[in-house]
Amino acid sequence: MIVAACALAAGLAAPPIGGTLYSPRVEQVAPAGGQRGIEVVVAFVGQRLAEPQELMFTDAGIAVIGLRADKPERCEATLRILPDCPLGPHALRVRTAFGISNLVWFQVGALAELDEKRAGDAAMSIALEHTINASLRGEEIDRYALELQAGARVHCEVTAMRLGFSPVDLALAVVGPDGRSLARVDDTALGQKDPWVTFTADESGTYLVAVEAGFPDAANSGPYRLHVGTFPRPTGALPAGGQPGETIEFDLLGDGAATRARVTLPTDGTQIFRYYPENDSGLAPSPILLRVGGPPNVTPVVDGKGRAMVEFPASLHGVIAEPDQAVRYFFSAKKGQVLEFRALARSLRSPLDPALIAREAGGRFIAYNDDGGGGSADSLLTFTAPADGEFSIEVRDLLRRGSPAHFFRLEGSERSAPMNLRMVVGRLEQPVIAVPQGGRGACVLQTTNADVDAGLELLAQSLPAGVTASFGPILRGSNLVPLVLHAAADTPCVGAHLGFAARAAKAPHERDPGYLQVLPLVTVRNDQPILVTAQRRLPIAVTKAAPFTVEIEPLTAPLIRGAPMSVRVRVQREAGFAENIRVRALWTPPGVNAGQVVIPGTSGEIVLPIEATATAMLGTFPLAIVAACARGGGNLELASGFTEVHVEEPWVTATVGKARGKQGTSLELRVQLARKHALEVPYRAVLLNLPRGVTATETEVAADAEGAVFALTLATDAAPERHRNFVVELRVPAGEGIALHRFGGGEIRIDPSEAPAAVAPGTTARGVR
Amino acid sequence: MTFRSLLLAALAAVPCLTAQTADVSFRNDVIPILTRAGCNAGSCHGAASGKNGFALSLFGYDPDADFRALTRELRGRRVDPAQPEQSLMLVKATTGAVHQGGTRLDPNGPFYATLRAWIAGGSPDDGKKAPALAAIEIVPGDSVLIGAEADVVQQVRARYADGTERDVTALALWSSSNEGAATVTAEGRVAAKTPGETCVLARFGGLAAAAQVLVLADDAPLAWPESAQARNFVDEVVHLKLRAARVAPADVCSDAVFVRRVHLDLLGLLPTPDETRAFLADGDADKRGALMDALLTRPEFAATQAMAWAEVMQVDAATMEGKGASLLGQWLRDVFAQHRPLDAAVRELLTAEGSTFSAAPANFHLVAAEPHLLAEKVAQNLLGVRMQCAQCHNHPFEKWSMDDYYGFAAFFGQLGRKRGDDPYEWVIWDRRNGDVRNKRNGEVAAPRLLGGGVVKVPPGTDRRAVLAQWLTAADNPFFAANVVNRLWARLFGRGIVDPVDDVRVSNPPSHPRLLDQLAKLFVDSGFDVRPVVATICKSRTYQLARHTGSPPAALFAGNQVRRLSAEQLLDAIGAVTGVPTKYQGVALGDPVTGLDGSGANVRFLEVFGRPARTSACTCDRREEPTLGQTLHLINGDTIAQKVGDKNGRMRQGLGAKQVPDAMLDELFLRAYSRLPTTTERERLLAAVAASQDKVAAWHDVYWAVLNSKEFTFQH
């Protein structure tokens, strides 16, 4: 009764055994952010949040100095946001004694923060250089009164959808002291669904800033942060990126005159870096985006014909400044050379919708791409040089628009395919692993572009003390790798972010397998993401011991191609734990299939059937199962340890013959046997799946026999037709077990008897009612 | 009959079609005979898959295919030049062999003789040598028949491209749009039945011509009322027809009726008691004109116009997502509120590009996914022309061919459409390449204006811009007429062309000159609807009371009583009870005109016929009364909840100890725009006084008023 005891210790009603506290979930963070350098009390509202133990932040900068829960639907943390805390969203998960929650964001800003306070519909008075944490409800309009002096240039920006909770679509309107509408902004390229506006006060007085739904819909409301100040508001940079660790200088686009800035790009695998522009007026409340990676930045050389010549690989930057403008780069290529061009614009929040056109130097069209960049309006064009010569790659806006803000980054290089790793998760699952004390947690990893020939194996990094990791092999023919984590019974409840390394048998230095989990934060329309974040380390937690453990009984015989096998699964239940437990294989080798079974609440074991196809991969593989029970929305999932399964060729093959006889008679079915493996003891042979009305004897076969004969008896009402679905099963002793062999391909033909049998009323001629 | 004698003389001058015709034309003789005989009708061999292995193009729109079918298929057995009488096409048509279609030709008749002569002559196809049919005309055309025995023989004259003319009366297909008024025989004889009006249609060679026939009961002189003086050109045209039809117009309606009518028509709302009192008390002779001028400047007028166009544009979340519908709805409201010329607005609409979440007019391009379907919508919504038939065959009742159809669709053939950053968002743009293929021959269709021929669109030019320019040109024959016709229909309950989105030869305008003059006014006013509405509403015709007789509605001799629209009725109930309906996205108390989309979640609107906006057809709006509507008013929760609401006018009035007389006055002024009559006052107040439960008694009074025809109908 460990689960109940823990819950009671926390002062809560005892959770029903079976795991209603598993799978914690956070649905709201209030306030959604805070100013760096201060302490703030933040509520996490959701489900199954009892016994919170840690806020698992991905990045440094926020210290948790208090964490408590007064009910399962809510826990509260006191956060100390360090003065040098990086700005922007900080990803975190709530770890409880029972699991790890979904990922949510907590925003860190530079401006002083206020909570929304208003009387009825009245406007809330605010001052410049503030962030207001507020929430829009229903069809209300939140108004803020701002006293401004004539000439003040003010930026207002809303963070709502970008909080990462819902696809809320808000608009921002500004009304002058004379009641005249100065601006109404809805979607923006930089903020996606979040608006921002810049205005200059023509006269001194009270200006009203209104936050309202971008369009009326009952669901279009929710929390937001309104930033008001004189901070800079650039929308992009040129160049818009560089390589990891590179210090780049760039011009900021937008917000008046260009300003130069300088930054060193991170080396932690980040591909999109958030840079917060800063000047004497302050820091922008949301970042511009810089690409980290790709080929080095290059400045084209203008040749005598005025052409911008480039040698790829290179990253180029430009602006489609005018409508109908195209920017064209020329390059040389050899026949058959393949180059991949990637236009980055919308993914860097440029308003440009880039289209790429490859041409011969003379202008003749070769290839075109729009939107091939994967999930955004960005484009990816694969170019194969049709001949030796000069070519060009052209960037234009699909709608033929242009402005100084329409910037792009064009990356051109030969194709490369680095290794990549991710955890396989279902639509409603989180890429996290909970490992109960004294138990196991597991997942399946998916590899892409793994160098199978190098004999790669995966390693786990940053494992907590007491936790061990076991990986399955990286196989040719399967891109899935099972991982089982085990926690010793005395391991404390801790959390960790697991890293991965890959080691090749031939060259045993470790390399980065490129673990990257893209997590949808905000989705619309059947889970299509519109805001995502990347997870580069896998969160795991040691949780309180589960009310049951599960093991596979070691397999005593090989799994023969074309035959089934029974895997006995045993569970050890805590007293009183009587939930049904679903059992499935964590992973199976290529060509091996497993079913799903349920262990009834009254039972402690079950047989999980697996079978190998006739072409299943041969060898020895680790087999593990997952046992799960779900109740009340929570899900408790445990794994067994690995057990080896040997997939082998048949030791003996059988060629099944044909037999023919009339209803009501007896006949023989002959089977030819050929040994592929030296057998030492006799074995039994049986016929399975015989048609109704046909019975057969079970036969003992000598170890060196080259054939077997089955005596068949045909009933008078046996179905008179050809039967081909039966199989011969050979039960060959193998150590302490039996290696099942199965063969089909035979035929039993049943002819009608001379005198047709009398057909009983209500019965068809075939005897089938 | 004078017409008869005239026409007989005319007929005598026209050469008849006989077997002696030296050169029978396949195009101009054979196919018309097959059409007249019904061989290529949709129910026979003109069906898409033909009949019994023999397929002809519907009404002969594809002569090349028909020629192949007749002379090449079935190993040429359908025509036999050696033994023309044994040709299958003659044997079948005269039931010499089993023919499911029965006897189609008289073996002794002229049609048989012509076909026989064509076969005997080797079944030639005169192809392009045959002069193309240029036009057909009915003579004498528009007629007035007096008395039930009257008749007139109409004749169809065909004019060909080479200048020749021909009487094709015998080859034409005749029909009457109102057989209750007059029938027409296969020979063109129009016979009067009962007083009324009909349109006699003749179809020949893919063209159609129509004549309006007015049937009068007798020739008694008309006593034209002295007060019925024309106030503007609207009255002049309407009166002209009324005089021809021997129908006197109704009297002008009372001020009380007028103030209610004009508020509902122009604003979609009932006048407030103060507005009604002020208007009734106003002694100015031109107070009606002044009121209309004032109403035309109110934002509710713009909103009502925008809602009507939103309905035409099928603005709805189901088509263009919630946000797109909201943006396009707001854009339409801005167009009318800011007095933007409609021609410019339509050009912006038709050439819109960009995200549907930022470029509001771009949402219009989401009403149909295929270029030809979008073209259909544009034709029907903006031009009032239904092109759908011509997708598969030439329009049977109009001049539109498949070439017209696919040529018009070609204007949208280069429209790009892709999902935006948000899966709910679309991006619309001009791809500047791409074509539409004509289903008839698989060839690329060149952009072709309706009635304007093929246009050459320079590469790099948005084809839609060319279309938009033509469509909104001052001399466009459809656009301005369609706009003013829709305005007229909303004010009178029926259009000058009715239905308003079905302009065709066989559905001519009741008052063509009026339509022209209103369209001209619209164009001359800078494509502003306000002067048109003002002119119509200031006419005596608009201000008529209900007619005491029952003249045809198309004469506009009196006001047509009609049920309030779903939107008017729900807002009216809210206004009378003081409990307005809250619509999604619309501030409480604001009218339904702010609601973008079909309002599918407002049950009342659905029951009373607010269209689902899934179709371009005006028939999408259900105006017929239904049992569901009656039950909803009698037993539904709308009236019960609003009347019984504690913040409603009735409970508030009782709470404030309002005098019963005053409560009743206010109720009547709000619901009917008049005070109660003495009888009404006595009976209703007596019923209230006799009741112990005043709330229940007043609830009953409200219920009775809100269920009365005088309230639920526009009059």
- For an interface test with B, the pick among A140, A166, A169, A187 (most B C-beta atoms closer than 10 Å) comes out as A187
Of B81 and A222, the one with more pLDDT: A222
The residues of A whose Cβ lies within 8 A of any Cβ of B are 139, 167, 169, 186-187, 192-193, 214-218, 220, 346, 353, 370-371, 376-377, 398-399, 524-525, 528, 530
Question: Residue A756: its pLDDT value, please?
Answer: 53
Residue A759 has pLDDT above 60, yes or no: no
Lookup result for tokens 């985006």: A289
Query: What integer is the mean pLDDT of B574-590?
Result: 93
Residue B647 near residue B578, CB atoms below 8 Å: yes
Would you tell me how many other CB atoms lie within 10 Å of the CB of residue B222?
13
Per CB-CB distance under 8 Å, the chain B contacts of A525 are 423-424
pLDDT tens-digit map of A482-498: 999 999 999 999 999 99
CA–CA dist A508, B128 (Å, integer): 84
Q: What percent of chain B has a predicted confidence (pLDDT) above 90?
A: 63
Give the pLDDT band (50/70/90) at residue B121: confident
Per CB-CB distance under 8 Å, the chain A contacts of B427 are 353, 377, 398-399
pLDDT tens-digit map of B463-484: 999 999 999 999 999 999 999 9
B40-49, B168-177, B474-483: the lowest-pLDDT one: B40-49
CB pairs under 8 A between A and B: 55
Per CB-CB distance under 8 Å, the chain B contacts of A377 are 420-421, 427
Would you tell me how many other CB atoms lie within 10 Å of the CB of residue A426?
6
Residue B6 has pLDDT above 50, yes or no: no
A398-410 as b/e: b if 16+ CB within 10 A: bbbbbbebbbbbb
N- to C-terminal Cα separation, chain B: 42
Question: Residue A16: its pLDDT value, please?
Answer: 40
User: Which two structure tokens, joined as six digits, stand for B206?
Assistant: 């893919």
Among residues A235, A161, A163, which one has the least CA distance to residue A198? A235
Give the pLDDT band (50/70/90) at residue A632: low
Residue B99 near residue B45, CB atoms below 8 Å: no
Say which residues have a Cβ less than 8 Å from residue A26's Cβ, sequence separation at least 6. Answer: A44, A45, A46, A49, A93, A94, A101, A102, A104
Q: Residue B358 and residue A215: Cβ atoms within 8 Å? A: no
Question: Residue B284: its pLDDT value, please?
Answer: 94
3-state secondary structure of A163: helix
Q: Which residue of chain B comes nearest to A138, CA vs CA?
A: B585
3-state secondary structure of A287: coil
CA–CA dist A733, A680 (Å, integer): 9
Would you tell me how many other CB atoms lie within 10 Å of the CB of residue B415?
19
CA–CA dist B346, B352 (Å, integer): 10
CA–CA dist A216, B322 (Å, integer): 8
A366-370, A560-564, B210-214, B268-272: the lowest-pLDDT one: B210-214
Of these ranges, A16-20, B63-67, B632-636, B705-709, the one predicted with the greatest mean pLDDT is: B705-709
Q: Residue A353 and residue B427: Cβ atoms within 8 Å? A: yes
Say which residues have a Cβ less than 8 Å from residue A562's Cβ, sequence separation at least 6. Answer: A612, A613, A614, A650, A741, A742, A743
Per CB-CB distance under 8 Å, the chain A contacts of B423 are 524-525, 528, 530
- Rounded to 5, what percent of chain B is helix, strand, coil? 45, 10, 45
Q: Which residue of chain A comes nearest to B587, CA vs CA?
A: A139
Question: Residue A427: its pLDDT value, please?
Answer: 78
Residue A346 has pLDDT above 80, yes or no: yes
Per CB-CB distance under 8 Å, the chain B contacts of A194 are none
The partner residue sitting opposite B421, judged by closest CB among A218, A399, A530, is A530
Of B485 and A258, the one with more pLDDT: B485
CA–CA dist B373, B365 (Å, integer): 10
Q: Which residue of chain A comes nearest to B354, CA vs CA?
A: A399
Question: Residue A256: its pLDDT value, please?
Answer: 60
Per CB-CB distance under 8 Å, the chain A contacts of B351 are none
β-pairing verdict for B354-355 and B426-430: antiparallel
Q: Residue A371 and residue B584: Cβ atoms within 8 Å? A: no
Of A258 and A663, the one with more pLDDT: A663
Minimal C-alpha gap between B323 and chain A (Å): 5
pLDDT tens-digit map of A92-137: 999 999 999 999 999 999 999 999 998 888 999 999 999 999 999 8
Per CB-CB distance under 8 Å, the chain A contacts of B420 are 377
ipTM score for this prediction: 0.84
Say which residues have a Cβ less than 8 Å from residue A341's Cβ, sequence separation at least 6. Answer: A356, A358, A379, A380, A381, A382, A383, A393, A410, A411, A412
Per CB-CB distance under 8 Å, the chain B contacts of A528 are 423
Residue A530 near residue A161, CB atoms below 8 Å: yes
Q: Residue A215 and residue B327: Cβ atoms within 8 Å? A: yes
Would you tell me how many other CB atoms lie within 10 Å of the CB of residue B50?
15
A66-75, A370-379, A393-402, A455-464: the lowest-pLDDT one: A370-379
Residue A765 has pLDDT above 80, yes or no: no
Query: What integer is the mean pLDDT of A682-695?
Result: 95
Helix/strand/coil (H, E, C) string of A55-109? EEECCCCEEEEEEEEEECCEEEEEEEECCCCCCEEEEEEEEECCEECCCEEEEEE
The partner residue sitting opposite B358, judged by closest CB among A187, A353, A376, is A187
Question: Residue B53: its pLDDT value, please?
Answer: 86
Residue A12 has pLDDT above 60, yes or no: no
Paired with A342 in beta bridges are: A380, A411
Lookup result for tokens 């009270």: A206
Helix/strand/coil (H, E, C) string of A252-308? EECCCCCEEEEEECCCCCCCEEEECCEECCEECCCCEEEEECCCCECCCEECCCCCE
Q: Residue A524 and residue B355: Cβ atoms within 8 Å? A: no
A257-261, A552-556, B93-97, B423-427: the lowest-pLDDT one: A257-261
pLDDT tens-digit map of A509-550: 888 999 999 999 999 988 889 999 999 999 999 999 999 999
Q: Which residue of chain B comes nearest to A352, CA vs CA?
A: B354
β-pairing verdict for A747-751 and A658-662: parallel
pLDDT tens-digit map of A67-89: 999 899 999 999 999 999 999 99
Minimal C-alpha gap between B73 and chain A (Å): 46
User: Which two structure tokens, joined as six digits, stand for A463?
Assistant: 């494992």
Q: What is the DSSP letter of A515?
A: B
Per CB-CB distance under 8 Å, the chain B contacts of A347 are none
Q: Residue A216 and residue B422: Cβ atoms within 8 Å? A: no
Give the pLDDT band (50/70/90) at residue A20: low
User: Which two structure tokens, joined as six digits, stand for A320?
Assistant: 């489609």
What's the predicted TM-score (pTM) here? Answer: 0.85
Residue A385 near residue A391, CB atoms below 8 Å: yes
Minimal C-alpha gap between B297 and chain A (Å): 20
C-alpha B91, offset from chain centre:
44
Per CB-CB distance under 8 Å, the chain A contacts of B585 are 139, 215-217
Q: Residue A216 and residue B586: Cβ atoms within 8 Å? A: yes
For chain A, how big is the Rg over CA atoms in Å? 34
Question: Residue A755: its pLDDT value, please?
Answer: 57
Residue A9 has pLDDT above 80, yes or no: no
The partner residue sitting opposite B421, judged by closest CB among A139, A346, A399, is A346
Query: What residue type is B30 in one-letter code?
Result: V
Minimal C-alpha gap between A543 and chain B (Å): 38
Question: Residue A257: its pLDDT value, please?
Answer: 54
3-state secondary structure of B590: coil
For chain B, how big is the Rg over CA atoms in Å? 30
Question: Residue B440: its pLDDT value, please?
Answer: 82
